[in-house]
Structure 1
Amino acid sequence: MLWQICFILLIIYYCVLRWKNRDIIKLSKQLPFTNEYRCLPFIGHAWLFIRRGKDPMDTFKLLADVAQKRNGITSFWFGNNLYTILTDPFAAEKVLKTSLEKHELMQLARPLIGNGSIFAPVFIWRPRRKVLAPTFGQKTLNNFVTVFYKQSVILVNKLQSMAEKDKFSVFNYISTYSMDSICETTMGVNINAQSNTNHPVLKAFNGFCQIYAARSVRPWLHSTAVYRWMPNYSTYLGHSQLLNNFVDKIVKTKSQEIKNGGNNNIQTGDDKKTRTFLELLIESSRDNGYTDVELREETLVMVLAGTDTSAVGASFVLLLLARYPDIQDKVLQEIEQVCGHSDNPIRAEHLPSLKYFDAVIKETLRLYPPVPIIVRKMETPTVLPSGLTLVPGIGVVINIWGMHRNPAIWGPDADEFRPERFIEDTLKHPAAYMPFSYGPRNCLGYQYAMMSMKTVLASVVRNFRILPAEDWELNSCKNKANLEVKFEVMMKHADNFQIRLKKRTNEST
């Protein structure tokens, strides 16, 4: 008798839910997903993300392909939630400029960053953005190049031991460089991750990202009430707590130093000093009365977003330079013309003159954007340029991977690595290229990341010839830019960014 009552209640709940979501269901019928992949009860198409032998990135690619065949838009069910997928920049611009609220899916990072502005509700994000924006001034960023170069010299020295040897993963080296650079420029502390790859902060950061990525593609684990019973929940919280405590201690120290009239500014050479992001944020937020918790949240956003984004982007550049030796030679020639011999320091004034190198990095980020998707929440009816109306209650996935490879925007060679397109051509639409998002909630750290990547990559290129992990990668690939990728919060190389290095001192070049 009890099971019959439960069954009836379940039917009633299902009918009420269908009625409540009638507009969403109607929209899903207007944008049907391909019939090749079934929509299952309760989980929808979420099973596509956990297929045996498949990475979640394979599903994001599939969604992009389906959308491109349907004028840049399709939809799929993720659990009981409907998501539309966009690869059309005109539709994406409309969504990103009018729907500023991040989707609940992004809140899975809350144990770590709380209400940090990257995922914060609009009413919290808007005033914080006004305080954050001035801290990314060009003068401050230029001063940070000294830190980038100093850390890149350490990186080059570490890589010397790997030159002339077999293949190895360069990502860990680039990642520790990024962690050291971001911690010094953001908080004014040296954690020496490049010398101590087992540093607890680095381990906690990597551990949190891996658990977060696995949880994000499993809708049945999104509820904290459910997830708290999972075996890795305590590890998830442990990583968060370690990182929070680390930054809390620094925030309190810096706040007290500034209150006492002292500072611990970054030494940038020639007896010049510059303030860290945290110091700038503390001073900028005096009138707003930022609490230590709010300062910690924003500092963590800068550390976490800055470390992985730059590391992934730079590592993909090295992979492609290894596969395209002619492009690598052009990059080296430009670096030598602008920056001089490899013993000459790389300075802020050099970076804007590296035009071709800039195009190489941008083309890499087009093909391999570190953040392959953006998810927004629709709260009001929104009419797209096509005339289709997106209804409240759905999620909108801007599929950056698909946007950047849309042949309707980039031409028939959209999947090819051709840096010249960023020198010769103009974008058909400003939202067609968005490796650091687009619109009012775009990434404030875009220039920071580009300057960091340029500095470290220039240091590596002028000291080493970068070779692919295997010789066949130079000649046997139909498309040398066709790298296998995986999803771990950021999009990464499936083979962990393996390359080989040869010292340039052994060459005639």
Structure 2
Amino acid sequence: MVIGNGLIFAPVNIWHRRRKIMAPFFNLKNLHHIVPLFNEKSSIMVDLMRAEVGAGEFPIWKYMTTYSFDTVCETAGGHKMNSQENPADRIFLDSINEVAEMVTKRVLLPWLHSDFIYKKLPEYKKFLFHKHRAYDYIDEIIQEKRKQFATDGLKYKNNNSNGLINFLETIIQTSGGLEKGYSDIEIREEIIVMAVAGNDTSAVGASFTAVLLSRYPDVQAKVHQELQEVFGDSDRAVTPEDLPRLKYLEAVIKESLRLYPPVPIVAREVRNDVALPSGITLVDGTSILIHIWGTHRDPSYWGADAELFRPERFLEGPLRHPAMFIPFSYSIRGCIGATYAMLSAKTALANLLRRYRLLPPAGARAEDLTRPLPVKYNIMMKASDDFLIRVEERKK
């Protein structure tokens, strides 16, 4: 197990305490302090993407994932990364991606489930190499932070110019401080969860949205009109006050998450017998799968056009049931970072669409652009082609 008792897989007795400890970091007031970082890193992404103008189709994923990774690393551990411009800073990201691919492969191939068999295969050595490389990277950051706290005490948090307490600082303090708080292993588990879930969820959601906008120029035009109303032709930074005004962009992102949820299924354990309206009883101790992909496309909730990309449905009033839209899971074990992911995606897409018009791959037929996107499963669900689009610079 790579994540151990990280928040995603922790049993209830561990999960409850850990979620309470992490909550201060993910409150909206604190997340607003991170928006300038989202803006800074996504502006770098947009500048680098200029090399793709007129160069044909390219996978936008490589830009979105390094943007998201740099922001997650800095907000998770206060560690500045520049993986967008410096390949040497991608070692941790590469290891995390390698581990994710190997875990996915093992999950999907039953003959690899046995530890006895798997540990005798060459792939296991590769798995251990990347796992320990990721662990070593995180452990080094943890030790640096502990030294800073030991030297400066709790006053260290006040030295940040923007008032932000990063995730690592938060959980050290709220778990009890240097002596009584989380162990290094507990901190590492939660940093890995933040790195995997925080990076991929934001990057996948933004990438699917970009591809869909390239296929639906009328929707893209409405998003750009909204951006013009908020920003005009200026190049000013995106601020926390801007993001609530981008209501149509948020509807577009939500519609993308509805049709292409980054996590298409989640597993849950039934803790007490539950009688469903259908008459079926879920028995205590049973494991169940919640089919998010299917729920998001159920015509009984979403109507006859459930398979269509229509962002306006999120502007037509409240949903008929709160559990009909669950891209970040649902109820008390829903993703604590849902707001973080949305703020990151909105900022990145706002800067992207202010600069560029998104286009589908050259030669794509009209009928192909209305068909569902081919996808693959790799812990998160992603586009099979790594989200191919083209871009052209907008004229002011």
TM-score, normalised to structure 2, is 0.94
Alpha-carbon distance in 2 for matches of 1:493, 1:267 = 42
Task: Indicate how the Cα distance of structure 1 residues 241 and 323 shifts in structure 2: closer, same or farther if over 3 A, else same.
Answer: same
- Structure 1 residue 503 and structure 2 residue 393: aligned? yes
Alpha-carbon distance in 1 for matches of 2:370, 2:254 = 17
Structure 2 unpaired stretches of 5+: none
Task: Return 349-358 or 332-341, whichever deviates more.
Answer: 332-341
1:375 counterpart SS class: strand
- Structure 1 residue 256 and structure 2 residue 114: aligned? no
Deviations 1:390-414 (A, max 9, x none): 2345421101010100111111100
Alpha-carbon distance in 2 for matches of 1:209, 1:476 = 34
Task: Return 453-462 or 384-393, whichever deviates more.
Answer: 384-393
Specify the code of the residue in structure 1 equivalent to 2:196: L
1:450: Cα distance to partner? 0.2
Equivalent residue number for residue 132 of structure 1? 22
Structure 1 unpaired stretches of 5+: 1-109
Structure 1 contact 180–192 (Cα < 8 Å) conserved: yes
Equivalent residue number for residue 241 of structure 1? 132
1:500 counterpart SS class: strand
1:261 counterpart SS class: helix
Task: Indicate how the Cα distance of structure 1 residues 219 and 121 shifts in structure 2: closer, same or farther if over 3 A, else same.
Answer: farther
Return the match for 2:339 from 447, 468, 480: 447
1:471: Cα distance to partner? 4.2
Alignment of 1:253-292 (within 5 A): 253-261=144-152, 271-286=161-176, 289-292=181-184
Alpha-carbon distance in 1 for matches of 2:157, 2:310 = 41
Return the match for 1:183 from 55, 73, 78: 73
1:248: Cα distance to partner? 0.9
Deviations 1:318-362 (A, max 9, x none): 000000111111101111211333411101110011001100000
Equivalent residue number for residue 257 of structure 2? 365
Alpha-carbon distance in 2 for matches of 1:462, 1:303 = 28
Task: Indicate how the Cα distance of structure 1 residues 179 and 265 shifts in structure 2: closer, same or farther if over 3 A, else same.
Answer: farther
Alpha-carbon distance in 2 for matches of 1:167, 1:386 = 48
1:166 counterpart SS class: coil
1:160 counterpart SS class: helix
Deviations 1:420-463 (A, max 9, x none): 00001421211110000101111010000000000011111010
Specify the code of the residue in structure 2 equivalent to 1:489: I
Structure 1 contact 185–266 (Cα < 8 Å) conserved: no
Specify the code of the residue in structure 2 equivalent to 1:375: A
Alpha-carbon distance in 2 for matches of 1:410, 1:210 = 33
TM-score, normalised to structure 1, is 0.74
Task: Return 309-318 or 370-379, whichever deviates more.
Answer: 370-379
1:444 counterpart SS class: coil
Return the match for 1:405 from 297, 309, 328: 297
Equivalent residue number for residue 230 of structure 1? 121
Task: Indicate how the Cα distance of structure 1 residues 396 and 257 shifts in structure 2: closer, same or farther if over 3 A, else same.
Answer: same
2:267 counterpart SS class: strand
Alpha-carbon distance in 1 for matches of 2:367, 2:305 = 19
Specify the code of the residue in structure 1 equivalent to 2:147: Q
Specify the code of the residue in structure 1 equivalent to 2:383: H
Alpha-carbon distance in 2 for matches of 1:402, 1:134 = 33
Equivalent residue number for residue 107 of structure 2? 216
1:239: Cα distance to partner? 1.3
Alignment of 1:411-422 (within 5 A): 411-422=303-314
RMSD: 1.9
1:196: Cα distance to partner? 2.6
Alpha-carbon distance in 2 for matches of 1:453, 1:220 = 38
Equivalent residue number for residue 141 of structure 1? 31
Specify the code of the residue in structure 2 equivalent to 1:154: I
Alignment of 1:291-370 (within 5 A): 291-370=183-262
Alignment of 1:25-44 (within 5 A): none
Specify the code of the residue in structure 2 equivalent to 1:256: K
Identical residues among aligned pairs (%): 45
2:332 counterpart SS class: coil
Equivalent pairs, count: 392
Alpha-carbon distance in 1 for matches of 2:306, 2:324 = 12
Structure 1 contact 415–481 (Cα < 8 Å) conserved: no
1:472 counterpart SS class: coil
Greater Rg, structure 1 or structure 2? 1
Equivalent residue number for residue 116 of structure 1? 6
- Structure 1 residue 153 and structure 2 residue 43: aligned? yes
Alpha-carbon distance in 2 for matches of 1:332, 1:315 = 17
Specify the code of the residue in structure 1 equivalent to 2:240: A
Alpha-carbon distance in 1 for matches of 2:158, 2:244 = 23
Alpha-carbon distance in 1 for matches of 2:124, 2:275 = 40
Structure 1 contact 169–499 (Cα < 8 Å) conserved: yes
